[in-house]
């Protein structure tokens, strides 16, 4: 894994799912996540990490897949792990 690199300058979009009582509205009801910001993966991760932790499950980041570490749609847990990787690249 030490050879694996993540391109944090890759284009990305932070999206938020509509919610009711802090729970996602189901896609089966026609809900779709809407754009919060469009920028780099790094910018989207920074914005995500600045949001209240209690709302992280409502957000996801869309970007181009990169190896096994970055999929096309990044869930909240995955974004938190990438933030750690970004902050500690020597590990």
Nearest to 44 by CA among 2, 3, 78, 5: 78
Residue 69 and residue 38 in contact, taking contact as beta carbons nearer than 8 Å? no
Give pLDDT, residue 91.
41
Q: Does the structure show a pLDDT above 70 at 89? A: no
Half-sphere exposure in the Cβ direction for 78 (13 Å, CA): 17
Give pLDDT, residue 4.
64
Structure tokens at 27: 């896609």
Based on the number of CB atoms within 10 Å of its own CB, is 46 exposed (0-12), middle (13-18) or buried (19 or more)? middle
What are the beta bridge partners of residue 38? 13
| Main-chain phi, psi angles of 65, to 5 degrees | -60, 145
- Answer yes or no: pTM beyond 0.85: yes
């Amino acid at each position: 894994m030490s050879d694996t690199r993540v391109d944090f300058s890759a284009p990305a979009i932070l999206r938020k799912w509509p919610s009711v009582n802090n729970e996602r509205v189901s896609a089966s009801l026609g809900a779709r996540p809407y754009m919060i910001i469009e920028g780099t993966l790094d910018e989207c991760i920074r914005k995500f990490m600045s949001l209240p932790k209690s709302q992280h499950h409502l957000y996801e980041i869309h970007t181009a897949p990169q190896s096994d570490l970055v999929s096309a749609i990044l869930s909240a847990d995955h974004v938190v792990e990438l933030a750690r990787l970004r902050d500690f690249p020597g590990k």
